[in-house]
């Protein structure tokens, strides 16, 4: 799908203008719903949608990405509002925007993509579960607690005291959203969230006991400057860093996904962060929610036929015009309708494909730990738990070694030892245990295919070979990998080059060579040490 960023005015009106209207219809209910889920003023969501569309659309690099308030930051923002209040949260948003600009100017944007994908997937799933648990209470006619654990434990009592009309409206919205993919394609061109909220609102007009959205007046009245925090600067700095990192990662991941949807110019990640940071800085200054690139709106933009950044900018203008001219319509929307929408959005963040992928790649523990951490601790701690486990798992895989020792066929006087993987000091327990099973006095062939060997592993193998030869047994080495025994004496441990592979047939292996005699191993070690020592003692040139 090709996209030309230098289209004529006629083509912009033909492609981008209709696409901007479709994106606006998707963004409007989501922006309102996310603001309510955060516990922020409804106008904050509208302001973020306007600024995200116009500022990030003009200054960012991804021409077809659409920015605005996103579900990925809902949990963080809700916790910040609870801890510091709304106006201080706006201060944190503005500072996070400045930090994003600094990230972009420092040209380190790609570093944000170094986070393990399984942690990002699990983070979003945890956020989705948290949103769903919170909004389930709203749909049932109650008030959510601030913690996911409390929302979970209090759910049975809330079901007992259910509000029938709220459940009816929220259930209708949920049913429409779930079944929208089954309607004819021509009808699906209308955004499902918009249809669901409109139908839910029309049905709610029959009931007078439903809580509805409350606005403070015009959008201009909602603009308020942030306030400086009163102490707890450590918590403020943590909040700034958390918002900046999560907003950056989510925006860049969305930009990568958008790049895969079209064949136009690729995104410059550093410039994109500058655009996102500028939008967050301005949004925080005027009392808006944090802004990120949003994949739901961006994919809608691409598939609606957008060709340039005009579509993203225009969608922000549409939100502005609607917020100023038709504010009375927003106040008719029942909260239970938006709760149904947010439950659907939250559950959409939990993707079965991601769980299957984590299981297939052996990362299910990382996924589960991150999800549980995000839901029952908080987002930052949950992500740190996931990253710690992912790093530990990576180190375990890197240091993994397989050592097998067994008789060769029916000949009990001939043994074969196979060593594969990374030979480091971490492998010494497994290595020494396997070598200790070799009987004294038998002939042994040691076949190694290692991609890494340190001096500790070398000493362990050479010391075992020396002691075994003293019992009368012969030790022969077949070194198939790129890293051999002598490499451990030549300096820092060596890593095999990419692309080197183990021969598929043992018959093609090089001829085995006898292991050096014990005194030769010792003299080689001593010679290498003496060489290094004498070199260190030489005067500088």
Residue 209 DSSP code: S
- Is there a domain that residue 152 lies in? yes
The CA-based angle 97-101-104, given to 5 degrees, is 140
Q: What is the C-alpha separation between 496 and 503, in angstroms, rounded?
A: 15
441 and 472, same domain (yes or no): yes
Domain boundary among 390, 411, 444: 390
The domain containing residue 355 runs over which residues?
9-390
DSSP 8-class letter at 439: P
- Please check whether residue 119 lies inside any domain of the structure: yes
439 and 360 both lie in a single domain: no
Give strand ranges (E) for 252-400: 292-293
- Residue 452's CATH number: 3.30.750.24
Helix (H, G, I), strand (E, B) or coil at 451: strand
Residue pair 97/283 in contact (Cβ under 8 Å)? The answer is yes
Based on the fold, state whether residues 422 and 358 are members of the same structural domain: no
Distance in angstroms (rounded) separating the CA atoms of residues 496 and 451:
5
**Cβ-based neighbour number of residue 470 at 10 Å:** 11
Rounded (5°) CA angle 372-376-379? 80
> Assign residue 489 a region: left if phi > 0, alpha if psi is -120 to 50, beta otherwise?
alpha
Domain assignment of residue 333, yes or no? yes
What is the pLDDT, as a whole number, of residue 225?
83
Helix (H, G, I), strand (E, B) or coil at 408: strand
- 405 in the same domain as 375: no
pTM: 0.69
Tokens of 512: 């085995």
Return the bridge partners of 415, or none: 407, 444
Residue 536 lies in a domain: no
Q: How many CB atoms are closer than 10 A to CB 184?
A: 7
Please check whether residues 303 and 420 belong to one and the same domain.
Answer: no
Whether the CB-CB separation of 346 and 131 falls below 8 Å is answered with: yes
What's the total number of domains in the chain? 2
Note whether 258 and 46 are within 8 A (CB): no
Show which of 390, 420, 440 is a domain's final residue.
Answer: 390
4 lies in a domain?
A: no
User: Could you tell me if residue 29 is inside a domain?
Assistant: yes
Q: Residue 445, SS3?
A: strand
Residues 335 and 205 in one domain: yes
Whether 386 and 408 map to the same domain: the answer is: no
Q: Are residues 174 and 241 in the same domain?
A: yes
Model pLDDT, residue 426: 82
Same domain, 268 and 414: no
Give how far Cα 312 sits from Cα of 12, 18, 316, Å.
Answer: 12, 11, 7
27 and 131 fall within a common domain: yes
What would the two tokens of residue 432 be?
């020494």
31 Cβ contact list (under 8 Å, min separation 6): 45, 46, 48, 49, 68, 69, 319
Are residues 422 and 327 both part of a single domain?
Answer: no
In a domain, 296, yes or no: yes
Whether 504 is covered by a domain: the verdict is no
Domain match, 381 and 446 both: no
Residue ending a domain, among 361, 390, 419, is 390
- The Cα 76–Cα 375 span in angstroms is 12
Q: How far apart are CA 378 and CA 372, in angstroms?
A: 9
Residue whose C-alpha is closest to residue 312's, from 53, 68, 62, 50: 53
Give me the sign of the Cα torsion angle 350, 356, 357, 360.
positive
pLDDT tens track of the chain, all 541 residues? 444 445 678 778 888 888 898 888 888 888 988 998 898 998 999 999 999 999 999 999 998 999 999 888 988 999 999 999 999 999 999 999 999 999 999 998 877 667 788 988 898 889 889 889 988 998 998 888 878 888 888 899 988 888 889 999 999 999 999 999 898 988 887 888 888 989 999 999 998 888 888 776 667 777 778 888 887 899 999 999 999 999 998 899 889 888 887 777 889 999 999 999 999 999 999 999 999 998 888 888 888 788 889 999 999 999 998 888 877 787 888 989 988 988 998 888 899 999 999 999 889 999 999 999 989 887 778 888 999 999 998 888 877 888 999 998 777 789 999 999 888 888 888 899 999 999 999 999 999 998 888 888 889 999 999 999 999 999 999 988 878 887 777 766 555 544 444 443 443 334 444 444 444 444 444 444 333 333 333 333 3
What is the predicted pLDDT for the residue at 522? 42
């Amino acid at each position: 799908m090709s996209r030309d960023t230098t289209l004529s005015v006629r083509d912009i009106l033909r492609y981008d203008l209709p696409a901007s209207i479709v994106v606006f219809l998707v963004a409007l209910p989501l922006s309102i719903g996310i603001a309510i889920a955060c516990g922020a003023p409804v106008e904050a969501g509208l302001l973020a949608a306007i600024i995200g569309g116009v500022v990030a659309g003009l200054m960012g690099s991804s021409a077809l990405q659409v920015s605005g308030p996103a579900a990925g930051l809902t949990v963080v923002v809700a916790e910040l509002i609870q801890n510091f209040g709304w106006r201080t949260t706006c201060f944190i948003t503005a500072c996070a925007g400045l930090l994003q600009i600094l990230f972009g100017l420092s040209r380190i944007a790609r570093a944000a993509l170094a986070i393990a994908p399984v942690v990002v997937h699990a983070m979003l799933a945890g956020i989705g579960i948290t949103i769903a648990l919170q909004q389930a209470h709203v749909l049932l006619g109650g008030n959510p607690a601030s913690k996911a654990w409390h929302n979970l434990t209090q759910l049975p009592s809330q079901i007992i005291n259910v509000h029938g009309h709220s459940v009816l409206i929220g259930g209708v919205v949920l049913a429409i959203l779930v079944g929208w993919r089954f309607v004819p394609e021509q009808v699906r061109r209308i955004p499902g969230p918009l249809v669901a909220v409109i139908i839910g609102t029309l049905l709610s007009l029959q009931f007078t006991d439903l809580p509805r959205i409350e606005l403070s007046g015009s959008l201009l009245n909602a603009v308020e400057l942030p306030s400086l925090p009163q102490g707890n600067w450590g918590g403020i700095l943590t909040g700034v860093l958390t918002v900046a990192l999560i907003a950056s990662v989510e925006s860049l991941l969305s930009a990568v996904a958008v790049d895969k949807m079209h064949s136009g110019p690729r995104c410059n990640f550093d410039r994109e962060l500058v655009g996102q940071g500028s939008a967050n800085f301005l949004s925080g200054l005027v009392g808006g929610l944090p802004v990120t690139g949003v994949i739901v709106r961006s994919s809608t933009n691409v598939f609606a036929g957008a060709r340039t950044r005009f579509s993203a900018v225009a969608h922000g203008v549409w939100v502005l015009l609607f917020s100023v001219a038709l504010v009375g319509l927003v106040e008719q929307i029942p909260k239970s309708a938006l709760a149904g929408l947010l439950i659907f959005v939250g559950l959409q963040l939990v993707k079965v494909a991601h769980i299957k992928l984590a299981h297939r790649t052996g990362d299910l523990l990382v996924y589960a730990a991150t999800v549980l951490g995000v839901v029952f601790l908080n987002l930052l701690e949950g992500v740190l738990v996931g990253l710690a486990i992912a790093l530990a798992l990576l180190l375990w895989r890197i240091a993994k070694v397989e050592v097998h020792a067994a008789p060769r066929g029916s000949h009990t006087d001939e043994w074969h030892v196979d060593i594969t993987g990374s030979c480091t000091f971490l492998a010494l327990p497994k290595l020494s245990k396997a070598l200790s099973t070799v009987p004294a006095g038998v002939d042994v062939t040691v076949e190694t295919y290692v991609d890494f060997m340190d001096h500790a592993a070398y000493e362990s193998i050479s010391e075992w070979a020396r002691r075994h030869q003293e019992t009368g047994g012969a030790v022969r080495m077949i070194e198939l990998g790129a890293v051999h025994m002598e490499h451990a004496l030549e300096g820092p441990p060596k890593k095999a080059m990419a692309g080197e592979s183990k021969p598929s047939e043992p018959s093609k292996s090089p001829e085995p060579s006898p292991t050096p005699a014990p005194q030769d191993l010792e003299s080689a070690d001593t010679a290498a040490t003496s060489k290094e020592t004498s070199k260190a003692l030489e005067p500088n040139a």
